[in-house]
Structure 1
Amino acid sequence: MSNRKLINIDSLSLQELDTDAELIPLMTSEDEEEMNNEQIPATLPILPLRNMVLFPGVVIPITAGRDKSIKLINDANADTKIIGVVAQKDEAVEEPGAEDINTIGTVARILRVLKMPDGNTTVILQGKKRFEVDTVTTDQPYLKATTKEVSEIRPARKDAEFNTIIESIKDLAIQIIKESPNIPTEATFAIKNIESDSFLINFVSSNMNLSVKEKQDLLAINDLKDRALETLRYMNLELQKLELKNDIQSKVRFDLDQQQREYFLHQQMKTIQEELGGVSHDQEIEEMRQKGRAKKWNDKVRSQFDKEVAKLQRMNPQVAEYATQRNYLELMLDLPWNEFSKDNFDLKRAEKILHRDHYGLDDVKKRIIEYLAVLKLRNDMKSPILCLYGPPGVGKTSIGKSVAEALGREYIRISLGGLRDEAEIRGHRKTYIGAMPGRIIQSLKKAGTSNPVFVLDEIDKLSSGNQGDPSSALLEVLDPEQNKEFYDNFLEMGFDLSKVMFIATSNNLSTIQPALRDRMEIIHMTGYTIEEKIEIAKKHLLPKQIKEHGLTPKDIQLGKRQLEKVVTGYTRESGVRGLEKQIAKVVRHIAKSVAMEEEYNPKITEDEVVKILGAPKMERDKYENNEVAGVVTGLAWTSVGGDILFIESILSKGKGHMTMTGNLGNVMKESATIALEYIKSNAEKLGIGAEVISNYNVHIHVPEGATPKDGPSAGVAMLTSLVSSFTQKRVKKHLAMTGEITLRGRVLPVGGIKEKILAAKRANIREIILCEENRQDVEEIRQDYLEGLTFHYVKEMAEVVKHAITDQKAKNAKAL
């Protein structure tokens, strides 16, 4: 068999191919005439291409990965082998529809289908003639459309201008091949041997470095002469780019060795930037120096900046450290060195803002105004470091925003919950790839001033791990004696944080490192009463939800009684986040009626509240008026506020053993043991026979069993429960108690008094037994919180029994 030269259209290179292989010769005029005489089917399967355009006469390989495309190719290959090929308007669309494809495409014949090892299908297509998509008839199992042939307007054979354009295209193509080092010179063979003018235009258009849109625009031109002119214009641009590139390379061309290669790339980039009118490396450094001269730096910072700029100037822009060094200098320029916002010390305005944004919290507002007053009198901008401590949803974070507005300072907030990497606070050292400053320095850069209000949210939820202890890193940040020179590892010098007003928030002080807690002024934020929650809902939450749901105040009316129903029946929290969610449910219900143009009554009744929110969920938390022996209501403190706690005990025949259930902690178990031993040693005074204690087992249970419980506060409640069981007498109705007990019979004070009292009011408690030493805590609480409550202050456990145990026998009392 003889060999013959054939063109490989994809690589523009010549290969020696055996004629036994399937060959794709260059198109002749006869081939073109035969192609033009072919009739295209009225309906064609449509193959969308992501990033290429097929021209008539041109052969290209396509890799198909989409399931629809693979099925289309297989079906067509088994049938007529004729398909319609169009380019997608947006290559990112995974499943293109009728609106995602161009209307002008090319009819193609499938020459070969190859199954690749990776599961994709490669198909070799040859363009035939142009067509226009008329109507997409279906998109399953792939796109099909009715089409019509697009006729081509051809110039006369003796059109001198057209013939000159064709010769120019050939000449320019040969010049481009000569100028481009990536195209072998043998490719000129293909250009010289193309007989068909239209194929020459299509061949060149297909192989030029153009975008899909530019190629599509060429394909859509019906007049062959106009298309040839447009192709010639693109070729001129391509040649100019190649000549400019070669000119740039000639300016920096010299013999390269391994050490000179990086320098060559740097010089080439510099020359390109100058040709484009951009900023060179030296100009960029000079601009940094000019910015540095305008900064209010001290001598130490200015010396460091000059040293680092000189270091950047000596560095090769191609090395990885260059980007880190430039980021470092940009950080120095962007940080607000000695730049402060002017404080507004109008204390009446500050009070007005705090009252506007937060209802209640009078003690907290008073403390904050006091701090602002000290700042005003001292006039040195050195700010206190506060820690707002309290349950979730009471407004700790939003207080910081109000303080910032009152002072006229910038507001920054970072969340520390779950933070376990010390570098998040102190930053990474510059020697690491991708190094960056810590979140403190980054936030100050964003604020643009050195005296913002900086909220450190959830400081009690910091973690520690292999990357260090972030809470220890915060010691320097929150120490007024040290933060004047806060050292960030990336910045490598001290930055003054003494003018920053830090406000930390916490739900639990016990998890904060003691040294860190000692550096902050603790402000305790307690929960809201039912009345306060109703006012907050009326003034803040309901208007906010109405606005967020696109309604107006006329569309919905929730009165005080209805809001009280939502507060008492559907929320059990110290804050108001859960309350806001329940109000949002009610507002959404009305929003649906408004949107669907249904008739409804804007005035919501209590029955409608139940209908919208369902049956009240918190009724079980009310006081249980149980008349059996051994049931006592205790008061507990949790991270979300106060709560009531039921203590139950029961006797059974046995040998004086005690069992405790309810997921109790060690301290609660010890309280139960102390209570029992006290009863044994004082049985005669309490009216309990010794034989009863020795002949009966006692079981103490604290519902709910799935919730862990611990702490000393339940001591007096456990004592009262055991005395009630051993005497089979009732405990006084609507009574709750809290306090720690000792073996000597003393009652000790406990914490969380305000939260416990609020929980008692929610549960319809009327009398509370407290340690005498807790009297001061009660006196600090607003009197309107205490309405309807009677307090019994005790020092001894005998007094507890006297106030709590009645003379009435319990219901179904046992004969002991």
Structure 2
Amino acid sequence: MGTTEKERQIPLLPLRGLLVFPGMVLHLDVGRAKSVKALEKAMVDDNLILLSTQEEVHIEEPEKEQIFIIGTVAKVKQMLKLPNGTIRVLVEGVNRARIEDYLQEDEYFEVQISFLDEEQQLTPEIEALMRTVLANFEQYINLSKKIIPETFASVSDITEPGRLADIITSHLPLKIRDKQDILETIPVKDRLEKLLGILNNEREVLELERKIGQRVKKQMEKTQKEYYLREQMKAIQKELGDKEGRAGEVEELRRKLAEVNPPDNIVEKVERELERLEKTPPTSAEGNVIRTYIDWLIALPWTQRTEDNLDLNNAEKVLDEDHFGLEKAKERVLEYLAVQKLVNKLKGPILCLVGPPGVGKTSLARSVARALNREFVRVSLGGVRDEAEIRGHRRTYVGAMPGRIIQGIKTAGTVNPVFLLDEIDKMSMDFRGDPGAALLEVLDPNQNDTFSDHYIEEPYDLSSVMFITTANAVHTIPRPLLDRMEMLYIPGYTEIEKLKICQDYLLPKQMKEHGLGRDRLQVQEEALLKVVRQYTREAGVRNLNRMMETICRKAARTIVAGTKKRVVVTVKTLEDMLGKPKFRYGMAEAEDQVGAVTGLAWTEAGGDTLTIEVSVVPGKGKLTLTGKLGDVMKESAQAAFSYIRSRSKELDIDPDFHEKSDIHIHVPEGAIPKDGPSAGITMATALVSALTGVPVSREVGMTGEITLRGRVLPIGGLKEKALAAHRAGLRTIIMPKENEKDIEEIPESVRNDLKFIPVEHLDQVLRVALMKVARA
């Protein structure tokens, strides 16, 4: 072909997915009928044919609009017919050409083309571009494994800039449209710049591919290594007879699940979690969370229970072995057993043992569990202020765990333990919630059969649990919580009860713990009574137990030192062991006194006597109260004073005494705070005695509150006050008539020695207490 010819007619061979540049030599397989005829026409003429690419690869018979208008004129070098009818030709690209017109489209495409001449001028800028393109192509070859290194050697020898651009483009794995763009760019400088941009882009893509490949390779190597090591470990474990990894772990958990036989909903829940566990990688932290949750679900007792021992005689025997007294609490437990025996199924009661420290509330709960043959769990609520302590944490939190109730049930291992909630009155609340409110569901027999713990998420039946709570005071327990519990008051032990407890429980226990038999230590009853009276002052017996410990330690040291083989503790030798007495207890006056009355008080340490003294001196009617009195006692004194003023004529008292005299009311032992609504009649009697000069009987003790009209109101703690009066040597007790029902609680030995006089009005009190009135 003469390159001077600008236009000519030529057959067209549309290419699919392939583009030929000038200077390229390659084989083509031609199979379409139109393409074969175009090829035959070229062979008849001068072996020249236009190779132009069709826009869409999937079109079998393209129209002229679907073929790029710029292609490459190529020379057919060789043609070979293959057995399948396809023709293989060897072509060489010669020159770019544009399709000006289609002359024939029926049998084959014949087109009118115009040749596109290229500039071959080599300017410094073009030369610089060529070098840059070559350098980038070299980097591309180094990164890409698809082009052999020898290709760069063949390309670097090309001196024509346009041919260099075409050959490099033909070696790049580009999209057809990108290659067509280079083919259609006639100016050499523009073509080199476009190629440079493509090379830069391809090089960046290859860099990213290499980095991703390296990362994937490392990950794959790590995974393959882990897989290989796990397979080795499995093989080793198999040889050793161990279970295999996570699969073995899941199998073991399924075996445990079958053993405990929980309800269907729990089985379904555990199975779902086991499926999740199987899919979780061994190194995943999520796996540990799921495993811990499954362990809790399996470890909880869903159906396991202990058989109750419903023998009432045995239960009574056990309770009496462990505790002296506490009749009401013991009676309530025996009632529960009796009903349980009749109905065979009773929701666990919620008992609240209320009383001072040391009276045996906690140990009584333990004895109840022993009597019923149930497991015993104790949870202390003192200082608990977080709701999650009761209901547990959500599993979304790190370190989540169930609340104390579910933890206690797991510890017990049965669904029907005796569950002690100790110090329920000492819970508090803050921004983390109100644990008292969370306990409402636990301690409500109508709700606790579906107790919901935030961690477990499944309802748990607490209705078979026998809950026992303890408290020192009721007023600090929230009202709704208090409403769900049955109160059993344990007011404290009397002096007689303490002595009995000391003889039968505390001293034998301490002697056994200190290795002392009855042949080595003997403590006389009078000495024990002195310990109770003068070395302890409490409602319970904790300090009394410590005193017994001290006596046993001293005796042990004496025996080990060889001083004595047998120690006998008497009232006289007691001080050598325990030191001087720490407390004194009130005693009756030696003779009748004017303005001094013996009152009866009830403290947390039991009953005591309290002398109230009144002194009347000339003055202007000032009333002075001393002895560290509380507001209630001050108000009682004011009420007594007002009543006497209103009854001054009937009581034979100067009506103007409040203007002529100063009155001083004093309660001795001023350092000890005193308060309570039971000193009204005592103060009134002392005032009348001081103002009239009539002495008060020394054998009379009294207790009761007074109103402004002289009525006597009921009080509490009559049992403890009567014991204190008996201990102090009093013979008569004046008490409110409404407290007559409490006399039955007083021990018979004390009742026989005391005379109880119920009164409704202060006039009755004065008739008994004042000597002049009594003799009249």
Give the Cα–Cα distance (whole angstroms) in 1 for the partners of residues 566 and 546 of structure 2. Answer: 22
Please say if 1:575 is aligned against 2:540.
yes
Partners of 1:511 and 1:646 lie apart in 2 by 32
Matched, 1:790 2:755: yes
Q: Deviations over 1:9-53 (max 9, x none)?
A: xxxxxxxxxxxxxxxxxxxxxxxxxxxxxxxxxxxxxxxxxxxxx
Partner of 2:63: none
Aligned equivalent of 2:645, options 657, 660, 680: 680
Asked if residue 605 in structure 1 is aligned to residue 570 in structure 2, the reply is yes
Q: Please, which runs of 5 or more residues in structure 2 have no aligned partner?
A: 1-212
Alignment of 1:360-399 (within 5 A): 360-399=325-364
Q: CA deviation at 1:377?
A: 1.0
Give, as a single letter, the amino acid of the residue that structure 2 aligns with 1:765: L
Q: Which amino acid aligns with 2:614?
A: S
Distance 1:269 1:644 in 2: 84
Q: 1:380, CA displacement in angstroms?
A: 0.6
Measure the CA separation in 1 of the matches of 2:251 and 2:584.
73
- Partner Cα separation in structure 2 for residue 743 and residue 416 of structure 1: 44
In structure 1, what is the equivalent of residue 262 of structure 2? 297
- Which structure 1 residue ranges, 5 or more long, are not aligned? 1-252, 810-816
Structure 2 CA distance for aligned equivalents of residues 264 and 794 of structure 1:
97
1:542 positional shift: 1.4
Using the alignment, how far apart are the partners of 1:262 and 1:749 within structure 2?
85
Secondary structure of the 2:475 match is helix
Match of 2:558 among 570, 579, 593: 593
**Aligned pair 1:350/2:315, yes or no?**
yes
> In the alignment, does 2:674 pair up with 1:714?
no
More deviation, 664-673/370-379: 664-673
Which deviates further from its counterpart, 728-737 or 435-444?
Answer: 728-737
Aligned to 1:274: 234
Q: Report the equivalent of 2:430.
A: 465
Aligned-residue offset at 1:629: 3.5
Shift of the 808–569 alpha-carbon distance from structure 1 to 2, 3 Å rule, reads farther
* Partners of 2:494 and 2:720 within 8 A in 1: no
> Would you say the 8 A contact 1:320–1:433 is kept in 2?
no
Task: Quote the residue 1:515 is aligned against.
Answer: 480
Q: 1:570–1:330: structure 2 CA closer, same or farther, 3 Å change rule?
A: same
Aligned residues of 1:508 and 1:639 also touching (Cα < 8 A): no
TM-score scaled to structure 2, two decimals?
0.67
The verdict on how the C-alpha distance between 1:512 and 1:529 changes in structure 2, with shifts beyond 3 A counting, is same
How many corresponding residue pairs? 557
Identity of aligned residues (%): 48
Q: Secondary structure at the match of 1:339?
A: coil
Q: Who wins on radius of gyration, i.e. which is larger?
A: 2
Q: Distance in 1 between matches of 2:669 and 2:228?
A: 76
Q: Does residue 310 in structure 1 map to residue 275 in structure 2?
A: yes
Within 5 Å, give how 1:129-278 maps onto structure 2: 255=215, 270=230, 274=234, 277=237
Distance 1:651 1:382, change over 3 A: same
Preserved contact between residue 450 and residue 499 of structure 1 (Cα < 8 Å): yes
Superposed CA offset, 1:463-490 (max 9, x none): 2233222222221111110111111111
Partner of 1:731: 696
Please give the per-residue CA displacement for 1:53-109, whole angstroms capped at 9, x wherever unaligned. Answer: xxxxxxxxxxxxxxxxxxxxxxxxxxxxxxxxxxxxxxxxxxxxxxxxxxxxxxxxx
Cα distance, 1:273–1:331 mapped onto 2, change above 3 Å: farther
Which whole-Å CA distance do the structure 2 matches of 1:321 and 1:794 have between them? 75
User: 1:455 is matched by which residue type in structure 2?
Assistant: L
The answer to whether the Cα contact below 8 Å between 1:270 and 1:281 also exists between their aligned partners in 2 is no
Greater shift, 608-617 or 321-330, is seen at 321-330
| Cα RMSD (Å) | 2.8
Q: Given the superposition, is the C-alpha separation of residues 378 and 599 from structure 1 closer, same or farther in structure 2, using an over 3 Å criterion?
A: same
8 Å Cα contact 1:354-1:365 kept in structure 2: yes
| One-letter amino acid of the counterpart of residue 537, structure 2 | R
> 1:137: which partner in 2?
none
SS in 1 for 2:581: coil
1:539 aligned partner: 504
Q: Structure 1 residues 641 and 391 mapped into 2: Cα distance closer, same or farther (>3 Å)?
A: farther
Provide the rounded CA distance (Å) in 2 between the counterparts of 1:668 and 1:548. Answer: 46
- In 1, the alpha carbon distance for the partners of 2:390 and 2:232 equals 41
Residue 375 (structure 2) pairs with residue 415 (structure 1): no
Farther-moved stretch of structure 1 (752-761 vs 670-679): 752-761
The equivalent of 1:653 in structure 2 is 618
> What residue is the counterpart of 2:725 in the other structure?
760
SS in 1 for 2:523: coil
**Structure 1 residues 604 and 526, CA, compared in 2 at 3 Å: closer, same or farther?**
same
In the alignment, which residue of structure 2 is the partner of 1:800? 765
Closer, same or farther in 2 for the Cα pair 1:471/1:268, shift >3 Å? farther
CA contact (8 A) 1:739 1:771 kept: yes
Alpha-carbon offset, residue 381 of structure 1: 4.4
- Per-residue Cα deviation, 1:638-671 (whole angstroms, up to 9, x for no partner): 3343333333332333322323333333322222
Per-residue Cα deviation, 1:564-602 (whole angstroms, up to 9, x for no partner): 232223222232222111121111111001222223543
Deviation at 1:263, TM superposition (A): 7.3
Quote the offset at 1:290 in angstroms: 2.7
**CA distance change for structure 1 residues 276 and 468 in 2, over 3 Å: closer, same or farther?**
farther
**3-state SS of the aligned residue for 1:414?**
strand
Q: Secondary structure at the match of 2:572?
A: helix
Mapped contact 1:375–1:383 kept (Cα < 8 A)? no
Alignment pair present for 1:745 and 2:713: no
> What per-residue deviation string (whole Å, max 9, x for no partner) do you get for residues 714-761 of structure 1?
222222222222223322213222222211221111222222223333
**2:719 and 2:745 in contact (8 A); partners too:** no
Tell me how far 1:420 sits from its aligned partner: 2.1
Q: Is the 8 A contact 1:392 1:640 kept in 2?
A: no
C-alpha contact (below 8 Å) 1:549/1:588 kept by paired residues: yes
1:333-378 Cα distance to aligned partner (Å, 9 max, x none): 1110021101111111111111221223333322321221111111
Q: Which one of the candidate residues 268, 280, 283 is aligned to 2:248?
A: 283
What letter corresponds to residue 505 of structure 2 in structure 1? H
- 3-state DSSP of counterpart to 2:758: strand
Secondary structure of 1:474's counterpart equals helix
Go from structure 1 to structure 2 and tell me whether the alpha carbon gap of 1:268 and 1:335 turns closer, same or farther (over 3 Å shift): farther
1:669 maps to amino acid? K
- SS of 1:554's partner is coil
Deviations 1:768-794 (A, max 9, x none): 211101001113444234231111111
Separation in 2 of the partners of 1:256 and 1:607?
93
Change (3 A) 1:534 1:637: closer
Q: Shift of the alpha carbon at 1:446?
A: 0.8
Amino acid at match of 1:533: K
Question: Cα deviation per residue 1:280-309 (whole Å; 9 max; x = unaligned)?
Answer: 123212322232233333332223222333
Report the CA distance between 1:266 and its aligned residue. Answer: 7.7
Whole-Å separation in 2 of the counterparts to 1:597 and 1:696 = 68
1:330 has 2:295 as partner:
yes
TM-score after normalising by structure 1: 0.64
